Structure 1
Amino acid sequence: MARRFLALDFREYEGDAVKEARFFGVLPLYRGGGLATPELRHERYLWGQVFVLSRQGRKQFFRFAHYTPSSQAARNALFRYAFYEVLKSRGYRLKGRIGEVLVFAAPEGGNVFLAAKWGGYTPAGVRRVFASVSSYVYQAGGRFWFTPAKGRRYGKFLKANPVAEVIPVELVEEAEGLSEALARGEAPSLVVQETR
């Protein structure tokens, strides 16, 4: 019998701002709008601002309510949210999450396991993440995409793992631009078109 495929199934979180903040780790300001809810808290970082779960919001999902994402963790979470919006606009459907890896159903069929981190993964980092999801990638017959750190080489890793691919550059650039706009509190045209 196959084991549970997704740690977090997006269908259980989609459409509810508080649940989506739990799923992604943060929520862009445009999604909260003029939201005045005790479950979400406005948090400012040096790179921008987002909504995070407040203590009251965390109590719905976690035993430990006293937690605020670090600057790097929040930025990575917002970057993954930006990838979600970019891929959704290209016909991909978010299925869920396994740790820090988002799982998408590709429009051409099959699954894409996306490991995205602001600044990219080092070779050691991408090996660690791939090791944590490789059994699921092979079980689903999917592909593993990751954001590379600039100036690093991944030849050995890619040769040893044919299901792994570097995320196409145009998608990374689009997600980086969108992430920066979301951090400023903007609702970019990509997102506005999607929500009409």
Structure 2
Amino acid sequence: MSERGPLRLGVLISGSGSNLQAIIDAIEGGTLDAVVAVVISSRSDAFGLERARNHGIEAVWVDREMFDDAAGYNAALRDELQAHSVDYVVMAGYMRLLGKAVLDAYPLRVLNLHPALLPSFPGAHGIADAFAYGVKVTGITVHFADEVFDRGPIIAQRAVEIAETDTIESLEAKIHDAEHQLYPAVIQLIAQERVKVDGRVVCIAQS
């Protein structure tokens, strides 16, 4: 924990929010020095909104259809995050590309989780693409987000082996288990101010 208190997170979701739940569990379990200040969803029916409310966290749906363009939508996201004094933005299954308004407000403070070992298998179907290609090892990547999907500097990765007996469903389960461990751990490194960035190279300082 820094001298100014726990890291304040704004978590962006589009679906079930299982990684949000992993973050909440780590906070409540005492292994993550952070608070979830707000959860923002791109969909009104995202189960992650209910997860947040079950833990007393403010949960907001920002409807893209209410805005004339993506710039207006992203400005609304930025304003909501800033209204909750968010330190870091955590994309947890958020299925939209963040725009300039948010990225400029939070330079190198927007995190994303991708279910493959970037730069391999970018895009929305990383698990299925790796499985179909026949690789023997895939994994997960936590990286800083920028204006291009899955391109920002890589903070941490974890390998996941694909067994000959794996199905796409069993591989998805293995990937999600790894995500739920690694994402809170990386956020804790940030809370401890151990993550240092030099261009595309990210280093983790020893504790």
Q: TM-score, normalised by structure 1?
A: 0.25
More helix by share: 1
More strand as a share of residues: 2
